[in-house]
Amino acid sequence: MTILAPADPASIVRGAEILREGGLVAFPTETVYGLGADATSAWAVARIYDAKGRPSFNPLIAHVAEIATAQREALLPEAAIRLAAAFWPGPLTIVAPAAPGGSVCELARAGLPSVALRIPDHPVALALISALGKPVAAPSANRSGHVSPVTAAHVAEDLSGRVEMILDGGRATAGLESTIVSFCDASPVLLRPGAIAREKIEKVLGAKLSAPARAEVMAPGMTASHYAPNARLRLEAHELQEGEAALDFGARLAALAAPGRIVLDLSPKGDLVEAAANLFAYLRQLDARGAARIAVAHIPERGLGEAINDRLRRAAAPRV
Ligand code: AMP
Ligand code: MG
């Protein structure tokens, strides 16, 4: 059931409760409608990918209400803080190395060591984020491949029955996505042109924005900076070979494992949302436990299985 409510104070409080419980709330921003979840919960973020039907885990923008929060989540260089002061709240997204102790979960970052942050310039978005008191992960509130929605009715067409609540705050005015600037390299990089013109940003920086490295544009998930386990992965495993640890799904491999074998099950009950929520943490755990080779159980190619398999295939690909 999806609650479609005018964005008054009472429904914003209800929306924050839904987010706190791991639910999904679509809300207006000045760019387009966002599909929001608690950015600190991998479970809640997995539901975003599921609701959108995304075939891969691309990193999500974490929406915050204050610059101080952004500074706790990311290591913002002085130039980034200057941009934030000039354009926030507003349609500028800043990407920077995630701060140690930051709260945005790894699934929201799609395994990257960086985090994308912005303060939206919309009273409803700000009230919702403040009421939750945590960063809100929010891509555009449409099914994957559809156009970004600028009204609550557009959101309902795509996501009715897939989200707990849609806050109707009228028409999103910019209709254009945020400009994304990254501070992960020696000089600031324009990752995506958007609602704030490059010239305006360059003026505040007093420097030109660089173009992204080509690989980054073409396939964000394939860049070396994405987390890949040290262990070698063998996908679609139906049995366990000598010395292999297991990354299981639906208790398939666990049944074959002798005692003492390392087996982590992404979802013993075979739930793909749960599996997505556990994916990055389990790959890290297997590394931490020193697994050199990992047999990965078959994961069905439906729903979130497509994105999970995409990520696992990248992790299993030979490295240079
Ligand atoms: P949107 O489509 O407006 O939700 O913006 C998401 C886009 O922000 C992604 O497709 C990336 O291009 C960019 N992005 C988000 N997080 C990161 C990150 N940690 N590092 C690099 N780019 C990011
Ligand atoms: Mg979109």
Residue 295 Cα to ligand 2 middle (Å): 34
Same domain, 154 and 105: yes
* CA separation for the pair 275, 90 (Å, rounded): 35
Same domain, 152 and 240: no
Same domain, 138 and 36: yes
N- to C-terminal Cα separation, the chain = 48
Question: Is 135 a domain residue?
Answer: yes
- 93, 30 contact by CB (below 8 A): no
Same domain, 191 and 243: no
Same domain, 43 and 173: yes
β-sheet bridge partners, residue 38: 136
Q: Which helix (H) or strand (E) holds 128?
A: helix 123-132
Number of domains present in the structure of the chain: 2
Instruction: Provide the CATH number for the domain around residue 296.
Output: 3.40.50.11030
Same domain, 165 and 287: no
β-sheet bridge partners, residue 293: 232
Question: Is 9 a domain residue?
Answer: yes
| Each residue's pLDDT tens digit, 150-160 | 999 999 999 99
Residue 94 Cα to ligand 2 middle (Å): 17
Same domain, 148 and 290: no
Same domain, 44 and 139: yes
* CA separation for the pair 308, 305 (Å, rounded): 5
pLDDT at 245: 96
Question: Is 41 a domain residue?
Answer: yes
Q: What percent of the chain has pLDDT over 70?
A: 95
Instruction: Provide the CATH number for the domain around residue 50.
Output: 3.90.870.10
Tokens encoding 124: 């409803």
Q: Final residue of a domain: which of 154, 186, 205?
A: 205
What dihedral angle (degrees, nearest 10) is formed by the CA atoms of 176, 124, 72, 108? -60
Same domain, 123 and 84: yes
What domain range is 152 assigned to?
3-205
The answer, yes or no, to whether any atom of ligand 1 lies below 6 A from the CB of 61, is yes
Among 75-89, 238-252, 254-268, the minimum mean pLDDT is found in 254-268
Question: Is 284 a domain residue?
Answer: yes
| Each residue's pLDDT tens digit, 34-67 | 999 999 999 999 999 999 998 899 999 999 999 9
Q: Is the pLDDT of residue 217 over 50?
A: no
Question: Is 190 a domain residue?
Answer: yes
Which atom of ligand 1 lies nearest, measured to the CA of 31?
3
Q: Is the pLDDT of residue 219 over 60?
A: no
Question: Is 218 a domain residue?
Answer: no
Q: Is the pLDDT of residue 226 over 80?
A: no
| Each residue's pLDDT tens digit, 246-302 | 999 999 998 888 888 999 999 999 999 999 999 999 998 999 999 999 999 999 999
pLDDT at 232: 93
